[in-house]
Amino acid sequence: MNANSIISVKNPDLSLYVKHYFILDFSYLPDEETEFKVPPTGFPVLLFHFGEEGNFYRHKHFTNQSLFIGQCSRHILLYPSRGMKLLGVNFKPYGLFNLLGISPRNFLNSGVESSHLWGAGRVERVIKILNNEGVERGVVEIESLLLEYRNGKVKTQAYFDGLVDQLEVLNGLVDLSDLVEKAVSIRTLQRYFREVIGISPKLFSQVLRHKHIMELLYKNPEMSWSDLQLNGFYYDFAHFSKDFIQFSGLTPKRYLPMKNYFAAALLGQNG
């Protein structure tokens, strides 16, 4: 298995909700526990853990089986251990709500056990398949599970979903008012983002911009912070640094030693 693999959606009925699946294999890690700082990506994720067990979240209420991660408005700390493997479902920003009727705002910067929705037995079945029959068969089982629990009562909002797609393409580097039709009220727009995306339209755009900056940093190791600041993202370094601290909790300079394989893998698959 590759350390970082992307798997396309198999069932076309899920393509409106799911970006793709990803596999991360932590067999390369040293024996001691490793701490990874991971940036927000702008979309909710469903994780299944298989291979060796470990305390991935260091959270007394989370098991090491399967978790929905909601919208994140800041970097989070994760603790993979050697031999652990992840299969992740990267939803579109509106995909979790449109498919299952679950609002990411309910677990902002946190998660919820998927067993609360499906029951522990169904989750254990997925993990058993991943361990014994392989990833491809596991993806088929996960897709079957997602479609089985599709919430047919959710009324999707194609116009607003399209705005979110445009924001993603533009990496949040646009004034949202330039994209919105004049007939749409700000209150309606804000209500959609709060319920479906999980955060405000302003914060969502900031998350996309920050993620884009992190992608540039990881893809171009020689790039300096001043290059990023002067590339049309910020008026000056002070504004850039303030925004960076808001998301990461660290100054740009102090963040550099925190760069890690896990964050690079997540950022590298978001295109």
Amino acid 33: pLDDT: 67
Residue 72 lies in a domain: yes
Residues 39 and 126 in one domain: yes
Residues 69 and 190 in one domain: no
CB 85 within 8 A of CB 26: yes
Amino acid 1: pLDDT: 37
Amino acid 108: pLDDT: 95
**Considering the entire predicted model, what is its pTM?**
0.91
Amino acid 131: pLDDT: 95
Residues in Cβ contact with 237 at an 8 Å cutoff, skipping those fewer than 6 apart: 225, 226, 229
Helix (H, G, I), strand (E, B) or coil at 111: strand
Amino acid 271: pLDDT: 43
Angle at the Cα of 169 from the Cα atoms of 173 and 201, rounded to 5 degrees: 55
Residue 261 lies in a domain: yes
Residue 153 lies in a domain: no
Of 148, 167, 182, the domain-final residue: 148
pLDDT tens sequence for the chain (271 residues): 335 688 999 999 999 999 999 998 888 777 766 788 999 999 999 999 999 887 788 777 777 789 999 999 999 988 888 888 999 999 999 999 999 999 999 999 999 999 999 999 999 999 999 999 999 999 999 999 999 999 999 999 999 999 999 999 999 988 888 898 888 898 999 999 999 999 999 999 999 999 988 888 888 877 777 776 656 677 778 888 888 999 999 988 888 888 887 888 778 654 4
Residues 106 and 177 in one domain: no
Residues 102 and 38 in one domain: yes
d(CA 24, CA 84): 8
Residues 196 and 244 in one domain: yes
The partner residues of 90 in beta bridges, in order of sequence, read: 20, 45
> What domain count does the chain have?
2
Residues 96 and 199 in one domain: no
Residues 166 and 128 in one domain: no
Residues 142 and 251 in one domain: no
Amino acid 99: pLDDT: 98
Structural domain containing residue 224: 158-268
Phi, psi of 251 (to 5 degrees): -70, 155
Residues 142 and 175 in one domain: no
Query: Which CATH number does the domain housing residue 187 bear?
Result: 1.10.10
Of 148, 183, 201, the domain-final residue: 148
CB 84 within 8 A of CB 54: yes
Residues 10 and 136 in one domain: yes
Residues 214 and 177 in one domain: yes
Residue 213 lies in a domain: yes
Residues 134 and 187 in one domain: no
Q: Tokens 């698959």 identify what position?
A: 269
